[in-house]
Amino acid sequence: VTVRVLTLDESKDPDDYIQKHGVGAFNRLIKDSKLQIEYKISKLQEKYNLDNIEEKVKYVNELASEFAKIASPVERELYVSKIAEQTGVSAESIISEIQRLHAVNARKSTIERFKLTPSVGAIKSRDPKKENVLRAQQQLLNLMCADKSLFSLVSKELTSDDFEEGVLRNLFNDLSTAYQKGKQPEAKIIVSQAHNASEVAQILHVDPNISDKPLAATELIRLIVKENQMEKMLRTAASDDVTSEQKLLQLKQILKKGGREK
């Protein structure tokens, strides 16, 4: 769909414009209308002083954000070349910023998809924080079973102790044992041998529909590590074996870590 932008001056809508200026004038307006992206370029040119380096950087960054939304690589490249010539900023730098934005958007999409995935079976908690980390552990185990390349990534950061005791920890150990023996785990075999077969089946048989599995696994690992660290710090702060000053320091660290997460 090609979107164009009409500027109707003081008129509120097309009918109002036609009544004031006639059909011919409206048709000329359509003919002279700008593509949506070209309209945004012109508005940003009005907004920024391109003779000022700081404003030029903002101009290019805002346009990179708009170009990142263009589906056609050819169309995107043409606009990048145009702005590179206009601003003196290399096309490679603009493309690099677009690629960075694509990566950020992919990361956000992965996180949102993960947040919308409910916990399965009986492995749930009334504590929202606990529920969050349980969901992360379940989805990470699902990805590990589906993609053997993720095992080395996970095993570098996590051990069985990082998983909830019981079903999740046992499943991690089963998957790890299979990979260490050079085997590709099969969900149906793992389920058939599991003590809590129904819960394991619900974890492994869910299709998370995630295209970038390494990115998803990295985010899940990060969340699990963070929540486990927070839990450990809370336990330490509540212990009778530490001084009041140490408890205060621990609580400050907890509040600082929690405040960084949005």
Per-residue HEC secondary structure of 120-176 comes to CCCCCCCCHHHHHHHHHHHHHHHHHHHCCCHHHHHHHHCCHHHCCCCHHHHHHHHHH
65-77 tens-digit pLDDT: 989 988 888 888 9
Mean pLDDT check: name the lowest of 92-101, 148-157, 244-253.
Answer: 244-253
The pLDDT mean for the chain works out to: 78
Residues 144 and 168 sit within 8 Å (Cβ to Cβ) = no
Round to whole Å and give the CA distance between 11 and 124: 58
Domain 117-260: CATH superfamily is DNAb Helicase; Chain A (1.10.860.10)
Which residue carries 């570098």 as its tokens?
Answer: 156
The residues spanned by each domain of the chain are 48-116, 117-260
pLDDT single digits (tens) 30-39: 454 445 778 7
Checking if the pLDDT of 139 tops 70, the result is: yes
Q: What is the pLDDT of residues 222-256, one digit of tens each?
A: 989 988 888 877 776 666 665 666 656 656 665 55
Backbone angles phi, psi at 169, to 5 degrees: -65, -40
Alpha-carbon span 235 to 247, nearest angstrom: 10
